[in-house]
Chains A and B, each alone.
Chain A
């Protein structure tokens, strides 16, 4: 049985090359913003600006040079967090968003009706409408590649292994080792963003240097449900329960029941895929 899979993205070895952005667009055949004709943002070397319906990996640049002798240029490859408690999944009225056998969160383009409910529901501003097919889109953690035993396009392309892909449990261990190492080297403001205490754990989590705001990351991301329930206490309690229960559950086989449905969807998915392809 598949175990939860995810990304560990490490700012400390990211060289900001953006291979992840392009490899993602290549594999998923996503178009460039405005046919590639955009303006210089003046925001360091970042010209794609944000994650959206056609940019599923995005590299952000932070220039920390107030004191030039200690100057740092930090690069951060952002991506969908594949939250254990996913706001998008929670609000999706059509069931287009589902949790996969890898514990990742995927939007099915053929079911999505473009209602946009998921867009504000995401605490990380990950999702947007892909103008090509008018459905909400985001990183699938290369669901198709994973199913074929291949690693996601961005992680494969990443030349410095800043993007690591693997079982979340292993990645978490690795990230703590890396964090300890950096702290030993005196990088006192390094931290892990997206441990289990954040929305039940982000399956795509990060090692960042400096405060989360530098990377456009909310300090305390909120689920829409917790916002509507008007209190964090309940969510916290639920999270704890979820964590406990998840720990206890061994994901067994409801699968075969769904095969027929899956095959049908697959066909539809293919159709939408070719639509996107044709637009590149």
Chain B
């Protein structure tokens, strides 16, 4: 199936070291002209006559605003429509870069989604009423020449409303605060997880209405560790798209990030073309 993307999106994300330090990022059209981190337009929601001098940075519609206007007519309303949309958006192997292939299993069961329990262990749970559909696709750059694989995952979640999607973003940030160490599944865990969320125009987020990044260390019984762990999650209207990447022996942090940003960018573009008003 041929798909024409409305624009090429290169995601702009911070590289998150563990803990607090987070560098700015570049993005936009990939021409290197991205705004500096944190230079979002200034809104009026902050404190007024405060002893504090900050003004509240908040996105505002402007000439440099997000190039995406949702078309209400294209918003999915049923579970079937939502699943079709998720399949259209979730990155296939080629979207992550040359050499990526499907893993097995390739797709998750769309009736379930992972939830982080009180012990910081991920468990599969049935979809809540606020979620119309979710789909995860697993791909990898296979091990070769003594290097381990780069494993990536694409997760698309279609919510009933924008507000529900907003709460999912908040929930993801909450998870990192609550559980800096998480067990992904038996034999796989991440530690020292840090996260950062930024609305459009802030911290270099020039691609989505809301975006967050997470970084940490990955350990597995199979691949050892610590390896680089990185993820991004973007919200476009009622849809969130997330990309997860895990390094392994002989794979640099840059290799993982490059693949991740390509896959995530492809998904943001796809979401825009699926949901946006035609120009």
Q: Do A and B bind each other?
A: no
Interface residues of A, Cβ cutoff 8 Å to B: none
On B, residues with C-beta under 8 Å from A are none
